[in-house]
Amino acid sequence: MRKCDSFTGKNLVLIGGGHSHVEVLKRFGERPLPGVRLTLISRDIHTPYSGMLPGLIAGHYTFDDAHIHLGPLCRFADAHFCRDEVTRIDLDRRLIHCRNFPPVQYDVLSINIGSAPRTAEVPGATGNVVPVKPIGSFVANWQRLSELVLERKDRIRIGVVGTGAGGVEILLAIQYRLHQLLASVGRTDEHLEYYLFGRENEILSGFNIATRHVFERVLRNRKIHLLLSSPIVEVRPGRLRRANGEEYRLDEVLWVTNAGAAPWLCESGLRLNAQGFIEVDDTLQSLSHPEVFAAGDIAAVVRHPRPKSGVFAVRQGPPSARNLRLALLEPVINFIPLLAFI
């Protein structure tokens, strides 16, 4: 891997190794653009596919099955790889400030950094719960939890906050895998208790009634405590409290709620929506800064809002690659709208 350095010529910088940028790197590797230097800034060296996370937790996939190694991909694309975290963007000078590397200059910038559950909205949640994203941290914590369950024989209570598809899938995957791990050493999982918390009065609110009923039956058959219709209002170490006054003691709290944006974007000067996501048009171009593009969870396509789901980031990969290539040409050619995406 090369370290970041100063260089001349047109500079395309990708912040984040998300699903869309994986496709961008692949396509630039297949068809390089002469005179353009490509740089990826990513905190992680492995990029996971979020849709495979429940299968990874359940043991259906290996780590390598569910992750792409960004190092070989960057070498294929002849891209500089800065393994670092962005702290600030200077839009006027077109500089990206990182935690460890010197500032990186760009001519065209693309942001694909995903999102993370908003723990700051609930007092005490930050530091006392395990957010499902970033996935790398979640997977590391899952290893710790599974080892803890194998070590202990007393009662262990595991709670998941969030009754969307992510929360339901993660909880069922965890229960399945822990049952398998304990059975492999001749033990049962009778000492484990599972809780699913939600603010709405039903699970999977974005799905049809038949799907909801099927999963409600599965959860109850698996003896998972389903606690709905009351949001979490406070978290303390080993304990959380609901708005209805009920308190629960838990050994592990996993947070799978609505997605939030990186805090540094609020100070960037980019046009953001009320939730802090970058507002873009149908070509994934920023509505405030034409040299900036965004894709995946961090992007809010104004005319065509979509859920924060990895499948949409994957679909945005090909048009991202095309439009970034067009943005680097002289004169700039009209961008291609997300026809396949919308």
End of a domain among 212, 231, 255?
255
Residues 99 and 164 in one domain: no
Q: How confident is the model at residue 8 (pLDDT cuts 50, 70, 90)?
A: low
Residues 176 and 59 in one domain: no
Residues 297 and 222 in one domain: no
End of a domain among 228, 255, 282?
255
SS3 content of the chain, % helix, strand, coil (to 5): 30, 25, 40
Question: 289-332 pLDDT, tens per residue?
Answer: 999 999 999 999 999 888 888 888 999 999 999 999 999 997 77
Cα(314)–Cα(294) distance, rounded to whole angstroms?
A: 13
List the domain range (segments joined by +) for residue 131: 119-255
pLDDT at 81 over 70: yes
The verdict on residue 137 lying in a domain is yes
Q: How confident is the model at residue 333 (pLDDT cuts 50, 70, 90)?
A: low
Token code pair at residue 277: 């996501």
Cα(293)–Cα(103) distance, rounded to whole angstroms?
A: 19
The verdict on residue 93 lying in a domain is yes
Residues 127 and 88 in one domain: no
Residues 150 and 248 in one domain: yes
The verdict on residue 5 lying in a domain is no
Residues 223 and 187 in one domain: yes
* Mean per-residue pLDDT, 208-225: 97
The verdict on residue 101 lying in a domain is yes
* Mean per-residue pLDDT, 265-290: 96
More confident residue, 51 or 218: 218
Q: Please, what is the average pLDDT of the chain?
A: 93
The verdict on residue 200 lying in a domain is yes
Residues 135 and 216 in one domain: yes
pLDDT at 340 over 80: no
Residues 250 and 138 in one domain: yes
Beta-carbon contacts of 186 under 8 Å, excluding residues fewer than 6 positions away, are none
Q: Show the beta-strand stretches assigned E in 261-334.
A: 278-280, 292-294, 299-301
How many structural domains does the chain have?
2
Indicate whether this model's pTM tops 0.85.
Answer: yes
* Mean per-residue pLDDT, 132-147: 93
